């Protein structure tokens, strides 16, 4: 056993309660289709709704296949509260001990840093609709904080309080708000068909073979963008330790969330494209929903604003819940500073979620630039995805007799390696050519790499300073863990 301080031992002795069903896991992943809802306009404006729908199907099918591998790994490590990056750590630690820190930190950044983006979008949405004359701002030295930023900060605080109080309440709120936004989607998809406002001729295909690499470079760059949205359904695996029956609840939550995301993505994309036409959407992607509702149900801008704000709130709720658990698990497995290895009296990682809150508030107040945040979080998330899938193959090879209540057929094991390679291609192409999908340039590349380098710095501080003389060497720990099954 590794020697731990009394504070750490006390934290690790606490157990996360088993009080979630697969329906709760599904509700917590409603963040995924809501993310599609919030970002669809610019995508259609770039390549047309026909191409967007096709790429969503391709990416969604990949996500569902990957979820089966995630489910097996979740069943192998039911005590790992951080989800898929912790499974990668288990697979890689005997070869590259620091890789767990990079993967988990990248995964955490993918969920955590996006909250600053969603909070700013919510603030801008509410200000534009209800307070259009509030154009004042306060200089923070590096940026300007206006009403939109203040609303965003206030929303972040409310989200943190809800998550620190208890994930069951968060899941319940997600179900309620998710139902409201699903109603909005139904109106946009079904009513145009009923009223005769849907015209298939408005749907276009913006991908051609005329671009670099006969158009494939653009496809890969956009698949990188789509993957951040559709792959997020694996978040249901993060809550494996909290399911009442992990063996059955985990795969149900993963598969149902993946299928639902594909259906919503395709229906919403084609519904809006056929109602407004891609040409109209391309002229002003940010007003897409306002125009669609005006055409289908008449003037209803206030209702639209409230429902869109609800969608963003759902996204932030789930991002906070997932990011907090990932950072807590990172510290619990000795991969970042030990202060985050702590659960509050309700068995929830409040400190880790507080760190998420502070970082996002800092970004809103002192940065206010969403482009670099999105790009940085996406790079880390895709690195995590590649290493997790490769880790699945390693676990099958290194621990063939380890208990697996959920087991993927042996013939499909090589598919995990293929998917890891495909995702690596998406990552490399998007990183080298960020302008293809509108992600920016050199500055954003530096930010993305900086996030991963920071994880290595925190890992080194934990190992060389906080754990000095209190733990076995990484190689010994890895060998012990690998043989314990």
**Confidence at 390, pLDDT banded by 50, 70, 90:** very high
Does residue 446 carry a pLDDT above 70?
yes
Does residue 475 carry a pLDDT above 60?
no
Tokens 């630690």, residue located: 93
- Structure tokens given for 10: 């006390």
Phi, psi of 20 (to 5 degrees): -110, 150
The DSSP secondary structure of 75-120, one letter per residue, reads HH-TT-TT-HHHHHHHHHTTT-TTHHHHHHHHHHHHHHTHHHHHHH
Question: What residues contact residue 278 under an 8 Å CB cut-off, 6+ apart?
Answer: 44, 45, 48, 49, 50, 202, 203, 204, 206
pTM: 0.79
Which pairs with CB-CB distance under 8 Å and at least 24 residues apart come from 204-210?
A: 204/48, 204/49, 204/50, 204/51, 204/273, 204/278, 204/279, 205/47, 205/48, 205/50, 205/51, 206/46, 206/47, 206/48, 206/50, 206/51, 206/278, 207/47, 207/48, 207/51
pLDDT digits (tens, 9 = 90+) for 158-175: 988 888 776 555 566 666
Judged on CB neighbours under 10 Å (0-12, 13-18, 19+), 362 is exposed
Compute the C-alpha angle 132/440/370, nearest 5°. 40
Give me the pLDDT at residue 181, please.
67
Question: What residues contact residue 421 under an 8 Å CB cut-off, 6+ apart?
Answer: none
Residues shown for the chain: 485
In angstroms, rounded to a whole number, what is the distance separating the alpha carbons of residues 8 and 80?
A: 16
Q: E strands along 115-248, which residues?
A: 137-139, 144-146
- Structure tokens given for 285: 């992607």
**Confidence at 339, pLDDT banded by 50, 70, 90:** confident
Question: What residues contact residue 442 under an 8 Å CB cut-off, 6+ apart?
Answer: none
Compute the C-alpha angle 170/173/179, nearest 5°. 140
pLDDT digits (tens, 9 = 90+) for 83-103: 687 888 889 988 988 787 788
- Mean pLDDT in residue range 336-354: 82
Residue predicted with more confidence, 156 or 336? 156
Does residue 13 carry a pLDDT above 60?
no
Does residue 11 carry a pLDDT above 60?
no
Does residue 15 carry a pLDDT above 60?
no
277: left (phi over 0), alpha (psi -120 to 50) or beta: left
């Amino acid at each position: 056993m590794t020697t731990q301080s009394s504070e750490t031992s006390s934290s690790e002795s606490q157990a996360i309660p088993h009080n979630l069903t697969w329906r709760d896991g599904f509700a917590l992943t409603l963040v995924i289709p809501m993310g599609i809802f919030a970002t669809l306009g610019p995508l259609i404006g770039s390549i047309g709704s026909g191409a967007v729908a096709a790429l969503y199907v391709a990416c969604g099918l990949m996500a569902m296949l990957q979820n089966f591998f995630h489910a097996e790994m979740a069943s192998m490590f039911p005590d790992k509260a951080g989800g898929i990056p912790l499974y990668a750590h288990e697979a890689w630690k005997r070869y590259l001990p620091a890789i767990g820190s990079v993967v988990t930190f990248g995964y955490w950044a993918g969920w955590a840093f996006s909250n600053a983006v969603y909070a700013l979008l919510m603030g801008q949405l509410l200000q534009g609709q209800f307070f259009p004359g509030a154009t004042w701002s306060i200089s923070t030295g590096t940026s300007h904080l206006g009403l939109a930023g203040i609303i965003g900060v206030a929303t972040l605080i409310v989200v943190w309080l809800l998550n620190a109080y208890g994930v069951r309440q968060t899941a319940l709120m997600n179900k309620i708000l998710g139902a409201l936004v699903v109603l909005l989607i139904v109106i946009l998809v079904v009513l145009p068909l009923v009223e005769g406002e849907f015209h298939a001729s408005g749907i276009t295909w913006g991908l051609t073979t005329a671009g670099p690499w006969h158009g494939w470079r653009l496809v890969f760059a956009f698949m990188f963008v789509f993957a951040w949205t559709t792959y997020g359904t694996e978040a249901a695996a993060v809550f494996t330790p909290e399911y009442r029956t992990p063996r059955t609840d985990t795969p149900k939550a993963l598969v149902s969330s993946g299928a639902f995301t594909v259906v919503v993505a395709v229906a919403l994309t084609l519904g809006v494209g056929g109602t407004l036409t891609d040409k109209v959407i391309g002229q002003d992607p940010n007003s897409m929903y306002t125009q669609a509702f005006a055409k289908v149900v008449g003037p209803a801008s206030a209702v639209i604003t409230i429902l869109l704000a609800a969608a963003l709130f759902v996204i932030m709720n789930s991002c906070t819940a997932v990011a907090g658990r990932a950072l807590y698990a990172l510290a619990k497995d000795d991969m970042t500073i030990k202060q985050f290895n702590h659960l509050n009296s309700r068995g929830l990682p409040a400190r880790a979620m507080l760190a998420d809150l502070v970082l996002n508030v800092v970004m809103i107040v002192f940065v206010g630039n969403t482009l670099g945040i999105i790009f940085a979080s996406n790079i880390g998330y895709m690195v995590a995805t590649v290493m997790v899938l490769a880790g699945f193959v390693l676990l099958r090879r290194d621990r063939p007799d380890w208990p697996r209540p959920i087991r993927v057929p042996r013939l499909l094991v090589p598919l995990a390696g293929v998917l890891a390679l495909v995702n690596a291609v998406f990552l490399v192409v998007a990183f080298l050519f960020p302008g293809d999908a509108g992600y920016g340039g050199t500055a954003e590349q530096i930010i993305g790499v900086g996030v991963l380098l920071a994880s290595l710095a925190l890992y080194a501080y934990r190992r060389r300073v906080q754990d000095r003389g209190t733990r076995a060497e990484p190689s010994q720990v890895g060998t012990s863990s690998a043989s314990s099954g």
